[in-house]
């Protein structure tokens, strides 16, 4: 006697006898983080800081002690003939802060600061702020001329 292999029909008849596995429970899969806001100060924050810092006639003693980098503190100690934060020897009549540019990749923001003097004379310099400074502070000042 020859044995016949089971055909497809026999397999289908055997399926109902197999135990039914419940579906696997849903697993929470972490979703990629939503693009986070850039770290550090924004152009708006830097602009408001610079306007407050410079005021109408220059930074206060408190701001000079607490809101500038060590590099600027050291530079002022060695440069007694002019104010390194104003690029001048005297107090200006007025100060204006221009638009702020932020370079995220460089980690810095800057603005042109204009000082106004007698006889409608003006002068400019650039104030730089590190985006990660805590508290916010001026990192460097580059005089125009």
Q: Residue 24: its pLDDT value, please?
A: 53
d(CA 84, CA 121): 19
Q: In this predicted structure, what is the pLDDT of residue 62?
A: 96
pLDDT, tens only, 38-59: 579 999 999 999 999 999 999 9
Q: What pLDDT does residue 34 have?
A: 39
Percent of the chain that is helix, strand, coil (3-state, to 5): 30, 25, 45
Query: How many Å apart are CA 127 and CA 139, to the nearest integer?
Result: 8
In whole angstroms, what is the distance from residue 43 CA to residue 139 CA? 15
pLDDT at 39: 74
pLDDT at position 113, please?
A: 98
> Which of the residues in the chain have pLDDT under 50?
1-6, 8-15, 27, 29-37
| pLDDT score, position 35 | 42
In the chain, at which residue ranges do the beta strands (DSSP E only) sit?
A: 94-103, 108-116, 122-130, 138-143
């Amino acid at each position: 006697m020859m044995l016949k292999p089971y055909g497809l029909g026999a397999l289908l008849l055997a399926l109902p006898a197999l135990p039914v596995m419940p579906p696997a429970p849903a697993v929470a899969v972490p979703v990629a983080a939503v693009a986070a806001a850039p770290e550090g100060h924004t152009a708006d924050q830097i602009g408001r800081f610079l306007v407050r810092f410079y005021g109408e006639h220059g930074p206060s003693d408190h701001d000079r002690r607490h809101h500038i980098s060590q590099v600027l503190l050291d530079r002022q100690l060695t440069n007694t003939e002019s104010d390194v934060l104003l690029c001048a020897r005297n107090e200006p009549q007025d100060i204006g802060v221009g638009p702020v540019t932020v370079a995220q990749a460089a980690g810095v923001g800057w603005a042109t600061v204009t000082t106004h003097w007698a006889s409608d004379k003006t002068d400019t310099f650039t104030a730089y702020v590190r985006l990660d400074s805590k508290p916010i502070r001026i990192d460097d000042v580059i005089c125009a001329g």
